[in-house]
Amino acid sequence: MTQRVGPQGAPGAVGLRRTLGVFDAVVIGLGAMVGAGVFAVLGPAAGAAGSGLLIGLGVAAVVAYCNAVASARLAARYPASGGTYVYGRERLGEFWGYLAGWAFVVGKTASCAAMALTVGAYAWPGQAHAVAVAAVLVLTAVNYLGVQKSLWLTRAIVVVVLAVLVAVVGVCLGSAGADAGRLEVGLSDGGFGGVLQAAGLLFFAFAGYARVATLGEEVRDPARTIPRAVPSALGIALCVYTGVAVAVLSVLGPGGLADASAPLADAVRAAGVPGLVPVVRVGAVVAALGSLLALVLGVSRTTLAMARDRHLPGVFAAVHPRFQVPHRAELAVGVVVAVLAATVDVRGAVGFSSFGVLVYYAIANASAWTLGSALRARVGPAVGLAGCVTLAFALPGASVVTGAAVLAVGAAAYGVRKKVGGAAPR
């Protein structure tokens, strides 16, 4: 029989199993970051920034680092499922927690669809939507069986993807066509605005670094594990992204990279090793599956936390008595993502997702600001907050308008619920 969960610590509540250590948490973060973003986002980012691509990558990394540190501090203080939904609620008030949760759920649901469509585009371009839906259904079943089974799959995916990326870097930098002159860094016609837009798009590839924070209720010794795991995963991912960006630019240049439909595959082809192209395609599929796996985990846990507080239907606040996972939340997320994967466009999904996730982390930084009054403790959250807001509004106009409209709908729904039903039980 399914049991309903109330807030963590309530009498008779069914909690999630704490099984994840530092290494496992780092692997989950890498599985969320070192994914399809590096295969898909470099082209659009180069189109926006041109020769300023590496500057944009640096800006995105600085904002991501500030967000990671803020998230790690907050997760150690509040080791429960839900991430910034919980932090915003506890530090800023119920509305801000709700808005963070809403931004995360809708933004990351779009990310799930983008990752699923990336699987389809690389695995079987002619049937991309059908393959995307199948991928969502399979990984939803994997998650349903428990986080440990998902963790083993994530480990395998991270190993495969890192091996492919190392091969790409080695082939490109070692090729006769590599030219250090193509790595010249500067501002192109897009100017600093183009660099900021590229940073906002590249943030999509970094946004999995705090995935372990949304799994806080499943981490052993969270006060020690989370502050170590989050920056570690981010640092490894930054090194990988920098190496890949430099390698690809060395053979394609900013213009060639901007025009590439499959940047890494085009890069190894330009490096004179076309036989590696199928391997890169397989790596992209595996990477996208890894990202999709971690994303569904994060969205379902935030859905669970919001359902516990009745911001979402209470039926999603159930934990399976055997597998100890939020099975109804996972099934609901799987169904919604499958529908989106059958209907949406991947580029629009990426822009919309970036806007929602940047708003989410802006609230995380604002929450971290309240943890202490010392200047040193507030510099990081201040930089992170300003960076998130700046990058969110530097994204393409359509993404900003759509994202702002969806957030407004969520805020209106909150107001209606408060007026009709009063405060959510805590």
Domain boundaries, the chain: 20-418
Q: What is the pLDDT of residues 249-285, one digit of tens each?
A: 999 999 899 888 788 989 999 999 999 999 999 999 9
Q: What is the pLDDT of residues 153-202, one digit of tens each?
A: 777 888 888 999 999 999 999 998 888 777 777 776 668 899 999 999 89
Write down the pLDDT at residue 6: 43
Confidence of residue 302 (pLDDT cuts 50, 70, 90): confident
**19-20-21 Cα angle (round to 5):** 120
Confidence of residue 85 (pLDDT cuts 50, 70, 90): confident
CA dist list (Å): 282 to 94, 119, 190, 192, 362: 44, 9, 34, 35, 35
Looking at the predicted structure, is the pLDDT value of residue 209 above 70? no
Looking at the predicted structure, is the pLDDT value of residue 213 above 60? yes
Write the DSSP assignment of 308-339 as a string of letters. Answer: HTTSS-GGG-EE-TTT-S-HHHHHHHHHHHHH
Q: What is the pLDDT of residues 332-382, one digit of tens each?
A: 999 999 999 998 877 778 889 999 999 999 999 999 999 988 888 899 999
Confidence of residue 11 (pLDDT cuts 50, 70, 90): very low
Contacts of 349 (CB under 8 A, 6+ apart): 110, 111, 113, 114, 117, 340
Write down the pLDDT at residue 69: 87
Class of domain 20-418: mainly alpha
Which residue would you say has higher pLDDT here, 26 or 100?
100
Average pLDDT over all residues of the chain: 85
Confidence of residue 19 (pLDDT cuts 50, 70, 90): low
